[in-house]
Structure 1
Amino acid sequence: MRQLAAIMFSDMVGYTALMQQNEQLAKEKRRRLKEVLEHSVSGYQGKILQYYGDGALSIFNSAIDSVHCAVAIQQTLLQEPKVELRIGIHTGDISIEEETIYGNGVNLASRVESLAVPGSIFISEKVFDEIRNQENLSAREMGYFEFKNVLKPIRIFAIDNKGLIVPSRDALKGKTKEPTNRLAVLPFVNLSADAENEYFSDGITEELLNALTKVDGLQVTSRTSAFAYKGKNTDIREIGIQLNVDKILEGSVRKAGNRVRITAQLINAADGYHIWSENYDRNLTDIFQVQDEISSIIANKLRENLTTKEHEETLVKVPTQNLEAYTLFLQGLHFYNKITPKDAIKAIACFEEAIALEPDYAQAYAMAAASYAFLGGTGQMQPKEAFELVHTYSDKALQLDSSLAGGYAAKGAAYLLYDWKWQQAYDALLKAIELNPATTGAHQLLSFYYMITGQKQEAVAIMEKALQVDPLSLLVNKSLIDAYNNAGRTNEASKQVDWLLDMHPQLPVALELKGWCAGVKGDWQQAAEIFEEVHRLIKHPLKGLTPLGCAYGKLGEAEKALACIRKIEQRQAEEPGVVLDADLAMIWWSLGEKDKAFYHLFQCVEKRMGPVAIIMEHLLFKVAADDPRYQQLKEKLNLVEYTQSIN
């Protein structure tokens, strides 16, 4: 018989040694343990399935009950006569045959318990998701741990209710395989007199990060997650836990005229110990040499854990001898990373000015291509104009430097969102990820490709992989949630949304995702309430209306939905460069107006609004597959023959 259960392992510590020293006391403690277990487990509707020497295996129908039970057990046994006990809990599928329990969930619960210390209760992330909103239960994150015969690192939490033991991560050394060869490069602090030099210190950080991604065997946390700690005084050990890294590179940059001082230090994340530090006082003309020197030192400091030889090759190429062009490039990066249409336009101006000064600046071409892809893909610029420039700039970038991941990522975006050349898109995006695994933008585009071509589980898998190198990224989390919903894994999507909202309680994008999750589950009233709040937070009368219009349509509130449509049409008239047919299609569809919805979807195709292929896979349109117009759209998008060829 298979069932989903909360699995609790409890194990008495030091029983064997105590038996050798004082057999009577050992037996008394084991008897006390058994009495407390039987009373507590039954009191929380659980069942003890097995006793084994000095421990027991119990199951519960509710994860919340299992944790309450564990707290009651530990608080009782921490009183005299004290019994030192470890408890570990996980939820998963189990099979029970003749009172014997099987399943991966059992093995994992056992691993979680083995990691715990006397007087503690350790739970897996799946259990934490169930108890996170319980007022009388609280937990502290211990971080990710790698267990023997478990493929992925597991995120562990310790219950920290009154009286319970919560150890430091250091106390768990040796119990499991700790993360190795995983590095985060924190944003270097700008110590220049001019605060506007912030772009320079940020740019140096990003250049170092990109150089270190070239080191074989080293996993580098992506920029977005590393920069989440900018301006914060977060403990290094806490950062190590949250990013699941064992080493952290941090530093500072002081720029004055043509001189620059860079301070860099490599830190062991587990204990904050400084492994290496160095100061560099150089002319700006030596900036690339300094970057390469720092990158090589870091790589070689980690070489004891890496299978590769000591690095003698150059990790940082000199992209330009023109310092003014380099400065403009760093300013462009600063604007590009703000991820808004307005800033993307500023970024393009910087990159194009850098190219004018240095016509062979490969990285500037690649980033200009990426910026135009962002504008074209989000409908903030006419797709034809935007993606022609994407091809022009990315082709030039790759002609100058065929190892630029950004060039392949931009090329893949054009193939995916404009040309609808699916195989070329797939090949380009895979190449980008191969060249730089921290390029999570390419992971997102590849996830879109998988969704478009009906490979739903692959879309989830690639975003789960991206999450490992960029766990704090809003866009990575959003794409993973979209992939979960698209694959019908709505519970996982909801849990990921809750985690995102813990980090960003009032972030419109996170709230919008919560609304879609509610709608997907059929609660359009809750969705409408959430979308109304999102629209209020956006603070623009003509923006943020599409999800709200869809919810109104689903609720049968036609007048409210039509009001949203009129405002979107007003915005379209006021901003002719913006393409909003996809938004209109979704609301018309929610109102049951299929003809009008398909009209706008065909308009998306005519205007080559690339994301139409993704929108067609939106859960709102899932009942449209039997409509002949759906197939016509697929044919226009070159998807019919292609999906047949890969399936």
Structure 2
Amino acid sequence: MRQLVAILFADMTGYTALMQENEQLARLKRKRLKEVLEPGIAQFNGKILQHYGDGSLSIFTSAIQAVRCAIDIQKQLQQDPKVDLRIGIHTGDVTVDDDGIYGDGVNLASRIESLAVPGGVFISEKVFDEVKNQEDISTRELGYFELKNVKLPVRVFAIANAGLAVPGRNELQGKTRQPQNRLAVLPFVNMSADPENEYFSDGITEELLNALTKVEGLQVISRTSSFAFKGKNDDIRDIAIRLNVDKILEGSVRKSGNRVRITAQLINAADGYHLWSENYDRNLTDIFEVQDEISGIIANKLRENLAATRPSTIKTSAHNIDAYTHYLKGLHYWNRLTPADAHKAIECFEQAVALEPDYAQAYAMIAGVHSYLGSTGQMLPQKAFDIVQRYAAKALQLDDTVAEGYVAKASSLLFFEWKWKQAYEALQTALRLNPAVTSAYQMLAYYYILTGEKGKAIQIMEEAVQLDPLSTIANQYLGNVYIFGERYDDAIRQADKMLEMNPQMRISIELKAWSMGLKGDWAEALRLFEEVHRLTNHPLKGLMGVGYASAMLGQKEKAIDCIRKIELRQREDPDTVLDGDLAGVWYAIGDWDKAFHHINECIRKHTPPVNFFLEYPTFKALKKDPRYQELMKTQAVHNR
């Protein structure tokens, strides 16, 4: 029988050695462990499935209870005769039968226990998400670890309640493979008197990131996550833990008149040791030549320290400082993830190309933002993707090494032209040019859902979050593909992670609402959807979820009212395409004729491939209708 459980591994340390030295004491301690363990597990509603030598495997229906049990056990075992015990806890979907327990979660819990220290309780990020708001449970993050037979790095926490052992990360070296050649480039600090020079210091960081992603053997954390620490004074070791890096490059810029001084230092994250540090004094005759020169010097220096071999190619991204300023402002708005901010981003990028007509990167970003608007119904697809195609082609004509140009091209091929194979090839080119461009991972996940490979979609987005762990876009998309894979608890954890950063982020509240509803709690989903609607500050926006959840709760009149408002908005704003929203609410009401009408309207208007949004679990029952198979035949024609 498959079930979601908290898995607790406990293992007595030094037992074999103690048996050789003092067999009587070893047996006494094992007896004491059993006397504490068995009633303790039972007290917190757990169940011991297996005793093995000097350890045990137990399961709990509640992660909170599992952690409280572990704390209680460790505190008891600190008393004489003291028993040195390691405990590791993880939650996972497992199979439990008479012969034992099976599943990836069991292996991961075992690996976390082996990482732990005597007297300590280590937990996975999934368990942390369950216990972080419990007043009686304290935690300390230890960072990401490469664990044996676990593909992706695992984020681990220690329970930090009084009386428990809480090691520093450096104390765990040798127990696991540490990240190697993973680098974060923190935003260079503007030390100039003029705050306007902020854009120059940001530009230095941008050029370094672009150059260093091309250094073979080096993994560079993406811009979004690095810039999350801008203006903050976090400890280097804490930053390294959050970003799962072993080295950090930081620096400062001081500009005065026609002179500029740039300081850069490469730091070993584990101990804060400076691997090297240099100052560069230059004349500021050409701001971008200085950027390129410094970027090249630092990239070469890093190559020496990191034993990477492929030379990086530094290309000037712009020549006009005002154009570059507008470009940086455009990135700022783009990363805020709202339709209104997307339009502001477009304005900034257009100002950049007006000042510098050969600005390839800015053309690529204009294409990328229009793709977002066209694929989400915020703009007529025909109009949006005409711009995407023209601007992506212009970007690649100017510079065929701009990865974002290939991503924008792929978005048109996926969302509008429905040429999936060509889209896949464009995305592979983008990732070859820049492995850190996480938007390419999002497009690949979309491609894998279209081709029925949801497991690959999840895998590719988990890799994207490793590259850009603090990116709201990457984390949001990972949450969405978890829903496609019907992993609703994982999707809720992703939503909660983003809501910690911004409690009013509408897309994250919506992600949580769909996850709660699909788990069966449509009442809580409706409450969350109504909050999304309130945050739009518009009577006609954000109503699809409200209508769907209302219908699922039998509130048909309320659902119909949502439909009428969506239709009114469609009439008032003909540039939007809301047939997908209407199809969803009519489907939830049970009127499949009207649902199929609006699905066919999506096809007629060339909105993103219908078989993409029909893969969303909300439409699961629709696949039984013969009209669904006819639709799939229509879509398959475009899979070329």
- Using the size of structure 1 for normalisation, the TM-score is 0.88
Distance across 2 between alignment mates of 1:77 and 1:592: 59
Matches within 5 A, 1:126-141: 126-132=126-132, 134-141=134-141
- What's the counterpart of residue 59 of structure 2? 60
CA contact 1:325–1:358 (8 Å) conserved in 2: yes
Shift of 1:182: 1.0
Gap regions ≥5 residues in structure 2: none
- Of the structure 1 ranges 323-332 and 19-28, higher mean CA displacement relative to structure 2 is found in 19-28
Q: Which residue of 2 aligns with 1:112?
A: 112
1:199–1:334 Cα contact (<8 Å) kept: no
The answer for the alignment partner of 2:182 in structure 1 is 182
Deviates more, 1:611-620 or 1:141-150: 611-620
User: C-alpha displacement at 1:342, in angstroms?
Assistant: 3.9
CA-based RMSD of the aligned residues comes to 3.1
Equivalent pair of 2:516/2:525 in contact (CA under 8 Å): yes
Distance apart, 1:621 and its partner CA: 2.2
Letter in 1 for 2:548: C
Q: 1:133 to 1:395 in 2, by over 3 A?
A: same
Q: Distance in 2 between matches of 1:248 and 1:105?
A: 32
Q: What letter is aligned with 1:540?
A: H
Between the aligned partners of 2:337 and 2:176, the Cα distance in structure 1 is 39
Superposition deviation, residue 515 in structure 1: 0.8
TM-score by length of 2: 0.89
Give the Å deviation of 1:178.
Answer: 0.8
Which residue pairs with 1:50 in the alignment?
51
- Looking at structure 2, the residues matched to 102 and 332 of structure 1 have their Cα atoms a distance apart, in angstroms, of 49
Q: Deviations over 1:482-513 (max 9, x none)?
A: 21211222233233333333443332222111
Q: Deviation of residue 56 (structure 1)?
A: 1.5
Deviates more, 1:2-11 or 1:220-229: 2-11
Counterpart residue identity of residue 291, structure 2 = V
Greater Cα shift, 604-613 or 419-428: 604-613
Displacement of 1:101 after TM fit? 7.5
Partner of residue 593, structure 1: 591
Deviation, structure 1 residue 378: 2.9
Alignment of 1:571-586 (within 5 A): 571-586=569-584
Percent of aligned positions with the same letter in both sequences?
Answer: 57
Moved more, 497-506 or 17-26: 17-26
1:256 & 1:585 partners in 2: Cα distance? 60
Is 612-621 or 455-464 further displaced after alignment? 612-621
**1:576-629 Cα deviation digits (max 9, x unpaired):** 322222222222222223333333333332322226453332323222224354
Asked if the contact 1:266–1:298 (Cα under 8 Å) also holds between the matched residues in 2, the reply is no
The residue that corresponds to 2:277 in the other structure is 277
8 Å contact kept, 1:215–1:299: no
Q: Is the CA contact 1:212–1:299 (under 8 Å) kept in the aligned structure 2?
A: no
Tell me the equivalent position of 1:267: 267
Shift of residue 20, structure 1, vs aligned partner: 7.0
Q: Deviations over 1:223-269 (max 9, x none)?
A: 22222223333222222112111112223344566654433332222
For 2:230 and 2:318, the matched residues in 1 are separated by 28
In structure 2, distance between residues paired with 1:103 and 1:595:
42
Partner AA of 2:594 in structure 1: K
- What is the deviation of 1:46? 3.1
- Partner Cα separation in structure 1 for residue 618 and residue 148 of structure 2: 42
SS of aligned partner of 1:59: strand
Q: How many residues align?
A: 636
Query: Equivalents in 2 of 1:48, 1:560: separation in Å?
Result: 49
Is 1:33–2:29 an aligned residue pair?
A: no
* Secondary structure of residue in 2 paired with 1:370: helix
How far, CA to CA, are the matches of 2:51 and 2:58 in structure 1? 10
Q: State the match for 1:382 in structure 2.
A: 380
What are the equivalent positions in structure 2 for 1:280-429 lying under 5 Å apart?
280-282=280-282, 283=284, 285-291=286-292, 293-294=294-295, 296-298=297-299, 300-301=301-302, 303=304, 305-306=306-307, 308-309=308-309, 313-429=311-427
Query: Which residue of structure 2 lines up, in the alignment, with residue 221 of structure 1?
Result: 221
1:549 matched to 2:543? The reply is no
Shift of 1:404: 1.3
Residue number in structure 2 paired with 1:622 = 620
Distance in structure 2 (CA, Å) of the matches to 1:424 and 1:252:
43
Distance 1:281 1:609 in 2: 53
Between the aligned partners of 1:353 and 1:219, the Cα distance in structure 2 is 33
The CA deviation at 1:560 is: 1.8
Q: For each residue in 1:540-575, what CA deviation from the matched residue of structure 2 results, as whole angstroms up to 9, or x when unmatched?
A: 222222211211122222222233233333333333
One-letter code aligned to 2:367: A
Select which of 504, 509, 512 maps to 1:511: 509
Provide the residue aligned with 1:470 in structure 2: 468
Taking the aligned partners of 1:262 and 1:29, their CA distance within structure 2 comes to 60
* Closer/same/farther in 2, CA of residues 28 and 519 from structure 1, 3 Å limit: closer
Distance 1:287 1:154 in 2: 40
Question: Which structure 1 segments of 5+ residues have no match?
Answer: none
**Structure 2 residue 167 is the aligned partner of structure 1 residue 171:** no
Q: Secondary structure at the match of 2:416?
A: helix
State the partner residue of 1:640: 636
Deviation at 1:528, TM superposition (A): 0.7
How far 1:414 moved relative to its partner? 1.0
Most deviating of 373-382 and 545-554: 373-382
